[in-house]
Amino acid sequence: MRSSLFLALCSATLSYAVPTIEAVGGKFFAKDSGDQFFIKGVAYQLTEKDPLIDTEQCKRDASLMKKLGANTIRVYHVDADADHDGCMSAFADAGIYAMVDMDTFDTYILPNDPWWNQTQFDRYAQVMDAFHQYDNLLGLFVGNEIIAINNQSLSAPFIKASCRDLKAYRDSKGYRKIPVGYSATDIAELRPWLQDYLTCGGNSSENVDFYGLNSYQWCDPTDYQTSGYANLQEQAKNFPVPIFFSETGCNKPGPRLFNDQVAIFGPEMVNDWSGAIIYEWIEEANEYGLISYGPKADPTATGENIVGGFTRAGTPTPVSPDFDNLSKHWATITPTGVPRSEYDTKAISTRECPASTASGWLVNGNVALPSLGETLTASSYSSVPSATGSGTVASPSPSETKNAVSGSKEIAGMGAGLVGVMMVFTFWL
């Protein structure tokens, strides 16, 4: 009996074998040591179902991820009612943190007809409730690529409202300050305005705690200037919250050399960027996988763990040369950053709330956020004075590499007439 109790206690301890991570200013830090934390991550979604409920599969994957040099996974869909103890413990034992999206297929904020209601809030909160206990929960996303083209920017206040309400819920429950943020499509016409808008206004309770960018601009062979990363860096300089690549890893023309990691963790970008999450762990039809679980099957094949012609579970086998190329880079990249005790948050910039633009940013300044239960209607939208200035921002440079991933391609600018579109909120129940 005592032996069983001892083993149980040891198991509980192992579930929390890593220090918690906090967002301070524009950086992540380990809570215990104060060391700066840099993300070396992989996107981990084996099927549409929750990948964090099969403990044995998680153990196999975590072991190989550790050899890869990963310290973070990103999971897009989870079941808040499922038991995640085994998988979260397996990843914690490997020194791997999780970043989890809170939205689901039927609760995400719509880009063209956005609303933010009680049903959405409750479902997001359930995910937070399910994961807050794990020390290796690095952060939670309120959305992924909600705004995919520039005329969808009117949904941005709803993104910010969801962040406000989930952070308030987190604090009301007495949870630790789990970072809550957003993952954005890389659209040149919107990038500087969206990232500035989600961090502007001077009210940290409404702003994102971190900002992720899904960017596939760096397609080997290329370099820092040609790829457009120099522009990304210019727009991220002294950013007020941690900014990182929440997806990256262009595979055209291939093979992937992952030379972008040298830039991200190198002297050009390391002072402002907090790392990168590589898309993705499992090999699928899009050929972005770092590993496979078996040979490709017929797309119509059915069977246990076979979906879309690919096996979705089993022993992970590295995909060559991608896995080795990334592993070699991460093995030699060991940024130390700045200790928390020496970090001066006054060095970060306060972003102005951007004014509407002819290229498609339609939110004019520091507009009032929707309350829970409100939806968008086309009419008028009153703004409140910006706490940080006039609301101007530099235009993006036109000399950038287009995103190479379908669905994330940069879109041509909207006509100036759309700038006149404004909005009010009406209650939607």
Looking at the annotation, which residues are catalytic? Answer: 145, 247
Strand order in the sheet with 115-116: 115-116, 374-378, 423-427
| Pair of tokens at residue 88 | 């979260």
Q: Give the pairing of strands 423-427 and 97-101.
A: unpaired
Cα 215–220–144 angle (5° rounding)?
Answer: 15
CA 263 from centroid of its chain's CA atoms = 19
| Pair of tokens at residue 35 | 């060391």
**What residues have CB less than 8 Å from 24, skipping those under 6 apart?**
340, 343, 345
Q: Could you give the CA distance from residue 236 to residue 273 in angstroms, rounded to a whole number?
A: 8
Name the nearest CA neighbour of 136 among 189, 172, 178, 164. 178
Q: Please, is 335 exposed, middle or buried when counting C-beta atoms within 10 Å of its C-beta (0-12, 13-18, 19+)?
A: middle
CA 139 from centroid of its chain's CA atoms = 9
Q: What is the CB-side half-sphere exposure of residue 250 using CA atoms within 13 A? A: 22
Write out the E strands in 93-185.
97-101, 115-116, 137-144, 180-185
Q: Could you give the CA distance from residue 259 to residue 64 in angstroms, rounded to a whole number?
A: 21
Q: Could you give the CA distance from residue 260 to residue 248 in angstroms, rounded to a whole number?
A: 9
Per-residue DSSP letter, 65: H
Q: Could you give the CA distance from residue 147 to residue 361 in angstroms, rounded to a whole number?
A: 11
**DSSP letters spanning 123-149:** HHHHHHHHHTT-TTEEEEEEEESS--S
**How long a stretch of residues is the chain?**
429
Q: Could you give the CA distance from residue 42 to residue 67 in angstroms, rounded to a whole number?
A: 13
